[in-house]
Structures are given as C-alpha cells and as structure tokens.
Structure 1
Amino acid sequence: METWRRLAARVAAALAAGLAFTALTAAAAEPSSTSSTLSRVEKSGVLRVCTTGDYRPFTDLQPDGSYVGIDIDQAHLLAKALGVKVDFVKTTWPTLMQDFIAGKCDIAMGGISVTLARQKVAAFSTHYMVDGKTPIARCADADKYQTLQQIDQPDVRVIVNPGGTNFQFAKDHLQHAEVIVYPDNTTIFQQLVDGKTDVMVTDGTETLLQHKLHPQLCPVNPNHPLTYGEKAYLIPGNDLPFQDFVDQWLNLEIRSGEFKTVVNKWLG
C-alpha cells in the first residue's frame, strides 16, 4: 500500500513540474507588455525604422542622407504618436529580412509588399494599400506588352531589381524573356528611357510616379494589374502590444484622411 502511495506522489510531482514548465514556456513565447517593442521604444525615446531608400514614392534617400516619401512621412507621424524620434536604418531589398530578424530596427517601412515568405518569420500591420505588379514601358511600345504572354518572349528584355517581389515575380513568371538584373533601383527606369531594356514589371503605384518623372514611360493597364498585392509595415512577430498600437494608429490615419493627405502629397 505504501508503494502505491509513493508512486502516486511521484506522478503528481511530475505532473506539477510539467505544468510549471508549460506555463514558463508559454510565458516566454508570449511577450508581456513590459517586454514589448512598444515599451522598449518608449523607454529609449527612439523608433528605429528599416528602409531601403530606393523605392519612390515610398522611400527615397537624398544626397544629404535624409529620407523622403510616403512611408518616411508616415514614420515621422508614427514616432509622433509614440512620443519619440525616428532613426532610419539603411537596408536593401536582398537583406531586408535578415536585418529585421537581427533586430536592427523596430519596424520596416517603405512600400513593403505582404508575402507569405516574409509572414513566416515576422508579422505585418494591417495593410494600408492594395497594389499589384504592373508593366511599364516606353509609351511608343506600350501596346506590345499588354499581357504576360506578350512580355514573356525571347526577344523581350525585362529589367528587374534584385531581392524584392519584383525579382520574385520575374523568377516565377518569366521563362522565355531575357531578364536583366540591375542593382541600382534609383536609376533603373533610366535604362528603359534610354532603350537599354524594353519593359519592367513593378508595383502599379511606382509606375504611376515614374510616368510623372519620365513622361516617355507609360504604365500598362495600371488599374488592372497582373497580380493582387498589399502593402503593410513589417513588425516583430508575436508582439501583440506593438502590433495593436501600429494597427490602431494606422486605422485612425486612414479614417481621419491624414493618410490620404500624405499620399496625395507624393502622387497628386
């Protein structure tokens, strides 16, 4: 009888230890408000924002080292809502996720597309813009590139910047066209203007801006893009306090019309 009592006591102790371990594991996986990015940003007084600086109209690095664009204005507004200042952290499209996961910034902003691959290792705010991949070409040639089939031909030179969703689109959809990977996203459209390439497929918002900057270039059916996409802000995964704050701030921005004012400033 004593043996059964001892056995029961050992089982009870093991179950208690297991439950305690489960509780500790859950607590570690679910950050409290005190360990949230929100709390850390408020204590440091700085919101660190990763941005590429090469994707107009969202983010554009100036010669003096400052940044301008839709999401740069938004970053300043978010920092104001938090009561802190902004520190922009330079990144690139190929290294964006690596830099973000390494903790170099608290949030990433700058026309970032929501993708399942990025969602696996981080989280996104609610989306603030719906966009999609759209061709852009010299206006005289735009009729030649109305469909993906017309673009994906051996005699068509498609230019693409490395690392982001434009590159992934070309990789997934272009098997026959000549794909030219061009590393400088700030001068890539001049390659089209100069006739060194024929077409680029990028986000519709960017094609509209580039048409304003380079009237020789025309978006191809920007109201009917080749894909559906959303733009949002990249935030740490499993951090509900910070995500809730960013989502509510963004919701108020959109509802109040302030976000529209920012967009109209850059796109008209």
Structure 2
Amino acid sequence: MKRFTLLLSALFLLLATLPCTVMADTLSDIQDAGVLRVGMEPGYMPFEMTDQKGQIIGFDVDMAKQIAKAMGVKLELVSTAWDGIIPALMTKKFDMIMSGMTITPQRNLKIAFANPYIVVGQSILIQKKYGDEVKSYKDLNNKKFKVGSKLGTTGEQATKRMIPDAKYISFETEQEGVMDLVNGKIDAFVYDLPYMAIANAQKSEGKLIFLDKPFTYEPLGWAIRQGNPDFLNWLDNFLAQVKNDGTYDKIYNKWFLSNDWVKKLQQ
C-alpha cells in the first residue's frame, strides 16, 4: 500500500509539471531574452533590402520594429539565404520569419503562419518585342520561350505549374533574372508584383513590358515554429491592432506609395 501511495504521488507530481512543459512558448522565451530575432533575406524590394550603409531596411523591417516595440524587447535582424530560411527557423536560429513569404499548404506542414499581412501575386516582365504576341502567362506556354524566376520561390512554382511548355531558367536572385531579361538572355521573368513594379520602373531601360495583372493569389505571412499558440495569437492580435490604428497604413505608404527610399539603396 505504501508503495502504491508513493507511485500515485509521483504520478501526480509528473502531471503537475506537464502543463508547464507543454505550454512553453517562444513568446515567453523572447520576453525572457529581451530580444526578438527575425530572419529575412534582404533582396526583395520593398520588403527588405540593404541600403548604402549596409543596413537592412524595408516594409518588413519597419513592421518588425513595431513588433519588438510592442513586446518591449530589442530587435535583431538575421540575414539568411532564402533556400535555408525555413530550416534555420526550425533549428531556432531566430524566432520568426518576416521576409515576404507566401503562405502555402506545403510550407504550412513545417511551420505556422500568422494571418496574412498583405496579399500579392505573380506578375510578368517580358521583352518589348513580344508586346503584340504575349498578353498573359498563357501566351508564354510555348517551348520557344525562355521564362525565368527565382530559385525556391512561388514564382518558380507558378512558372513550372502554369507555363510548363516554356523552357524554365532558374536564378539565385531577382536582380540577376531581371538583368538577364534586359540583356535579352531570357524572354520573360515571373515574380511577385511589388518587386516587379519597382524593377520595371528602375531597370527596364525601355526594353521591357510589364504585365501587371497578377495571375496567382498569394497571401504573405509571418512564420514561426509550430507549437507556439501564444506567440501566434499575439501576432494575429498585433496585426489587427496596427491595421486599425493607422500604424500599418503609415508604413505601407512609406514603402509602396513613395519612392523616397530608393536613393538609400546600394548603387
């Protein structure tokens, strides 16, 4: 009987400690550390890019600053290559991803997303000589066309899925793809609308045509590790707050409705 009582006491003690283990959440870890670590790849205008001083700036950066301010912690930006950004999050190299990441079912199997903070879609830049022939992505679905996008992105996925007959060319960066398009090495480049609008204005040199009607629906979201309900709830509530108190609109207007930030970029 005494042995049974001791066993029962040990069981109760174990059950009493389980909730603390199960409910451990990244949100509390951030508060304890006093630092929010955010992973991003600084190459996606105007979400995150590097200025002339080597600092990362952009829409996502300003939103990250607001998140850290609301938490009462410092902000640390962790520059990370795109093809390794999800594994880096999962191995706790940082606390969350804020890098213009599209929410997809495949990604959602590995990581959790807060509610979308902006919705974009894939658009197309084509060589000017194809202006009369190519009016949409459907017209590019021909083996005579070389169509590029960035490696590991939804632009690549959309091109392979929706323009399968074209010859696909993969690029490490968006800048390389647009430059090859300007130089006539490819016929079209597929990528997210915000970046393409800026690239067309800055780099087309009168040689390109911008097909600016998105042909995909892509909500972008902040990503965190799975199993963090408190953190996820906090981010959703934060987003709702800033979208209704004017904070979001102020940051959006700065990066999407103004070109003042362009002069700060590396030349």
Q: In structure 2, what is the Cα distance between the partners aligned to 1:266 and 1:213?
A: 15
1:173 equivalenced with 2:162 (yes/no): yes
Q: Which segment is superposed worse, 114-123 or 235-244?
A: 235-244
Name the SS of the counterpart of 1:154 in structure 2: coil
Map residues 1-268 of structure 1 onto 2, 5 A cutoff. 28=21, 30-31=22-23, 35-62=24-51, 64-215=53-204, 216=206, 217-222=208-213, 225-268=214-257
Amino acid at match of 1:83: G
Name the SS of the counterpart of 1:238 in structure 2: coil
Change (3 A) 1:149 1:256: same
Q: In structure 1, what is the Cα distance between the partners aligned to 2:160 and 2:20?
A: 41
1:109 Cα deviation (Å)? 0.6
Deviations 1:185-209 (A, max 9, x none): 3333122222221111111222222
1:91 Cα deviation (Å)? 1.5
Structure 1 or 2, whichever has the larger Rg, is 1
Q: In structure 2, what is the Cα distance between the partners aligned to 1:153 and 1:22?
A: 63
- How much identity, in percent, do the aligned residues show? 26
Q: Structure 1: which 5+ runs fail to align?
A: 1-9
Q: CA-atom RMSD, angstroms? A: 2.6
Amino acid at match of 1:196: K
Change (3 A) 1:53 1:184: same
Change (3 A) 1:164 1:22: farther
Q: Structure 2: which 5+ runs fail to align?
A: 258-267
Name the SS of the counterpart of 1:153 in structure 2: coil
The answer to whether the 8 Å contact 1:209/1:267 transfers is no
Change (3 A) 1:23 1:115: farther
1:22 Cα deviation (Å)? 8.8
Q: In structure 1, what is the Cα distance between the partners aligned to 2:163 and 2:231?
A: 39
Q: In structure 1, what is the Cα distance between the partners aligned to 2:53 and 2:248?
A: 26
1:167 Cα deviation (Å)? 1.9
Amino acid at match of 2:105: L
Q: In structure 2, what is the Cα distance between the partners aligned to 1:204 and 1:229?
A: 10
Amino acid at match of 2:222: Y
1:93 Cα deviation (Å)? 2.0
So what's the TM-score if we normalise by structure 2?
A: 0.83
1:148 Cα deviation (Å)? 2.8
Q: In structure 2, what is the Cα distance between the partners aligned to 1:143 and 1:93?
A: 35
Change (3 A) 1:45 1:174: same
So what's the TM-score if we normalise by structure 1?
A: 0.83
Would you say how many aligned residue pairs link Structure 1 and Structure 2?
Answer: 250
